[in-house]
Amino acid sequence: MDIDLPEVVAEVKAAFDRYEQALTSNDVAALDAIFHDAPQTIRYGIGENLYGYGEIAGFRAARSPVELARTISQTVITTYGRDFAITATLFHRTAAPGKVGRQMQTWVRFPEGWRVVAAHVSLIDERKPA
């Protein structure tokens, strides 16, 4: 199996960047389009466990658009073959001082393009340098 083919990594990075832009601008239609529309799609959030595209779309529609800006760092994109990828990133929000967010997504290429089929978001205390 080919891991991290440059052209596939570039495609997933573009999809990841579209997700980040949609997330921070609260573009609900774009966010909905990025998640695979299927009952098997899962998103574990900071305060919610969402099973199926319908629950995820419902969460997005009801989410407050306040303080969505964030900075991301240490983003890792790993692709396996041409149709499967994992993304992981850390994020910080001014609304959550002393905390670091972690986001992982599983992406699959479908005929309509790259879609998230599983996501996990968590927030933990930020470690202070020793």
Q: Domain containing 74 — which CATH number? A: 3.10.450.50
Mean pLDDT of the chain: 95
Q: Give CA torsion, residues 28, 32, 34, 36, to 10 deg.
A: 170
On whether residue 130 sits in a domain, the answer given is no
Q: How far apart are CA 60 and CA 26, in angstroms?
A: 8
Does 70 reside within a domain? yes
The model carries a pTM of: 0.94
Total domain count for the chain? 1
Confirm whether 1 is domain-assigned: no
3-class SS of residue 11: helix
Which residues make Cβ contacts (< 8 Å) with residue 70, sequence separation at least 6? 24, 91, 92, 93, 101
The range of the structural domain enclosing residue 25 comes to: 6-125
Split at pLDDT 50, 70, 90, the class of 8 is very high
pLDDT tier for residue 64 given thresholds of 50, 70 and 90: confident
Judged on CB neighbours under 10 Å (0-12, 13-18, 19+), 112 is exposed
Give the pLDDT of residue 93.
93
Q: Is 84 within 8 Å of 12 (Cβ atoms)?
A: no
Residue % of the chain over a pLDDT of 90 = 88
Helix (H) or strand (E) holding 104: strand 99-110
Residue of 13, 11, 18, 10 whose CA lies nearest to 35: 18
Q: Within a domain: residue 83?
A: yes
The predicted-structure confidence for 69-114, as pLDDT tens digits, reads as follows 999 999 999 999 999 999 999 999 998 899 999 999 999 999 999 9
User: For residue 118, is it within any domain?
Assistant: yes
